[in-house]
Amino acid sequence: MEKNSSAGSRIAKSTLALVIFSLIGKVFGFARESLTASVFGTSIEMSAYSLAQAATAMIAGFVTQAIATTFIPSLQKAENDLGEGRKNYFTNNLLSITTVISIILIILGYYFPREIAFLTASRAKKETFDIVVRLIQLGMPVVLFSAWVGIFTGYLQYGGKFAATGAISIPLNLVYIVYLIIFAHHIGIVGLTVASVVGALAQFLFLLPDSFKLGYRPKFIFDLRDKYVIEAVELSLPVLVSVSVNDINTAVNRSLASGMGDSAPSILYFSNKMNTLIIGIFITAITAIVFPILTRYFSGGNIKEGKRVMNASIKSVLFLTVPATIGMVILARPLIEIAFVRGAFTTEDGINATSTLRFYSLSLISISLTNVLNRIYYSLNDTKTPFIIGALNVFINVVLNILVAHRFGTDGLAASVSLATTCAVLIGFYLLRKKIGNLGTFSYIKALIKTLMASFAMGLVALLYFPFENILKLILSGGLLTLSRLLVLLLVVTVAMVIYLICLYFLGVREIKDLVAIGKEKIEKRRIRN
């Protein structure tokens, strides 16, 4: 039990640190999307941008996420066989090969943009479709820079350096914010696409200093016979679908939304951005930390210790995403209104986005658990099972979209994602149990019950926002009202989170008790020193 407790507390501490870095980045992301909504609203140009971004993001995600995911297991194997000196050789070789692949994809994207546009804009009007084509041509270089980001993200995570990877969204969002404030009204949506490319380059440059500190040294190596790189590429092929399920589902949804009216793709874009904000803060942190640990244990044959880390990580996901889901459902309207409803983004747009966000938020738990489960499979050198699960996820989403999209609009598209990912995560757990035996399911159920109880108390506190909002609306207006609502919302959310953590503590959640014990120990040491 002590080992399990220590594994949980280590993950909890590391996750907290990464969440803080990610949170800072997401604050900038919140500002970025708020500015985007204010400048472009749900116009045809904004819808075209969201459709183009979904297409290029899916292609870039295939390369980036597949590389970042297979990088760690392949590098672990290379070091186990040939020693630590192989790390730079492997990294530089993979960098060269993925650069060539990315350049080929960019060239194809430039000369065949209409074919790529059909991925997300098949039902769009000609005017919108033509803008999508142009933006895809401009945005394709993001594939190359994203591939480089994927490699150095894996390199740093393998070396246990999580600070830079946790804060990686900061440079991207800063580029966007500068563009939106200074240039957007003069250059328009074309410049926003260029900003996405420059932002990806800024992310790569942001990762370089820490990579050099960790020992990386650039050297041109292009060895197609290197069996470890070949293995990484081979592993990445089935990984393409499994790690990009959310991007694929987003592309499918945007494609259907492109035939639902000029504003529908934009509504999906903004509501999905708000939803993925939570996933980006919490789940990226957990998967970044546990993946290298799981790989070391499972590749070394230490299944028992690997299960302990797995148990701690899955429970961490539940502790984070269950209250986030409940909070998102309750506070969806003020979140959307404070973030987006101003300038070109109308009150009606806000109503539509609020409803869609509530349906999207139901996928928070399942998407997050799927991300962790995929890493568990990869650390077991199993890329086939996540591929099958990912394909089923997309299939279920497409079927549900066809059945409900014409009846419920963007709400139906968002609900389809939630239902599909829930089915996928249940299948993932079932197949994992068949693969490695007992998963400690009872401990997950126990953690889920405690989390729901604490989240219920938290939700009651969150409801206190609305009477305060009504009072503010009576006495304030304009920008001062928006700022006051934001401050009250932050205050209520903070109090709700504190109540949630207190409830978990008194419900006997070990991870929270471990963190409290660590805090008390540090306070006591400082008191003794002073």
Q: Model confidence over 53-78: pLDDT tens digits? A: 888 887 887 666 667 667 777 887 88
Q: Compute the average pLDDT of residues 87-91.
A: 87
Note whether 145 and 199 are within 8 A (CB): no
Backbone angles phi, psi at 131, to 5 degrees: -65, -40
What's the confidence (pLDDT) of residue 5?
Answer: 47
Closest CA to 245 of 375, 371, 404: 371
Q: Distance from CA of residue 461 to its chain's centroid?
A: 27
The torsion region of residue 476 among left (phi > 0), alpha (psi -120 to 50) and beta comes to beta
Q: Compute the average pLDDT of residues 309-330.
A: 87
Please state the domain extents for the chain: 2-439, 455-530
Condensed to tens digits (0 to 9), the pLDDT of residues 137-180 reads 999 999 999 989 988 988 887 887 777 787 888 899 999 999 99
Q: Distance between CA 2 and CA 307 in Å, rounded?
A: 14
Residue indicated by tokens 């986030």: 324
pLDDT above 90: percentage of residues in the chain: 37
Condensed to tens digits (0 to 9), the pLDDT of residues 354-393 reads 999 999 999 888 888 888 888 888 778 787 888 888 888 8
pTM of the model: 0.79
Exposed/middle/buried for residue 261 (C-beta within 10 Å: 0-12, 13-18, 19+)? middle
Q: Is the pLDDT of residue 4 over 80?
A: no
Q: Which residue has the higher pLDDT, 14 or 387?
A: 387
What's the confidence (pLDDT) of residue 3?
Answer: 46
